[in-house]
Amino acid sequence: MNSAAVADGVPVRIEVHGPVLVVTLDRPEVHNAIDPESHAELVRAWNRLRDDDALRVGIVTGAGRKAFCAGIDLHRLEDFYAESHPGERRERWAREPGIGGLTRNFDAGKPVIAAINGFCLGLGLELALASDIRLASPNATFGLPEVKWGIIPGQGGTQRLPRAIPPNVALEMILTGTPISARRAYEIGLVNRVVSLRRLMPTARSLANEIARFPVRAVRHARDAVRRGLNLPLADALQLEQDLAEPLRTSTESRAARATFGAKRPGHRRPSRDRSSAGRHRSNRRV
């Protein structure tokens, strides 16, 4: 498995491990809080994941052992809104990717796994919510503390959290700003698994490589069906499912995958390529 760093000396590390892009927020001194420079690097990373056909799955995590991402860097908050009035910001954010890249107006089109290794607060939780699969270490904590600062979660938190967990539980987290533990996050379905900090990244990479082994279009269409279908009435979602399933049924990729699966079934006999050898064996059996 090859590993090549493609960004150096910046607040976000980007590494390629075969078909997997690993994106690491690298500001441990501020619990990996996101500043404008981090945001720009994250947007660049997600664009690479989307545009590079050799990449099939992304992983996002935080540097160190204490934090995935503690949110937006409050000391740099004004820099996100400098030199623009509310009307200009509204128009810009309506078309540009949200802070963190994945949070609004952007879809990489490929699965993203969040490996949550500690504080996952505010914008950090919103970035995790925008991912497809969430793994957490036991020391992880999850929360949306924005009301304490006189604002509300503005990068998808008020919309994605009630879609990920029961709305009443989401409202309690949003209205009180009280964080929850990794165990509680698992109980309510906010995270898929809780694994030891030591095993967190190996587990994320193993899961990413497992997904990357499967036919590309099948993975993308399945993901697309789920993500788009959640926002549709059931009848429309079922139609979407058929629209996405139909072109795969007779695709070259699907035929090859089914043939491979059939060849691995117990009792499956591969036809002999050496007919003369087979004939000799039959002749020997007749003697």
d(CA 8, CA 11): 9
Among the listed residues 29, 78, 126, 241, the single catalytic one is 126
d(CA 105, CA 60): 18
Is 126 annotated in the active site?
Answer: yes
DSSP letters for 41-88: HHHHHHHHHHH-TT--EEEEEESSSSEEE--B-GGGHHHHHTT--HHH
d(CA 286, CA 276): 15
Among the listed residues 29, 146, 172, 253, the single catalytic one is 146
Nearby residues of 138 by Cβ (< 8 Å), 6 or more positions away? 182, 183, 194, 196, 197
Is 83 annotated in the active site?
Answer: no
- CA Rg value for the chain: 23
Catalytic residues: 126, 146
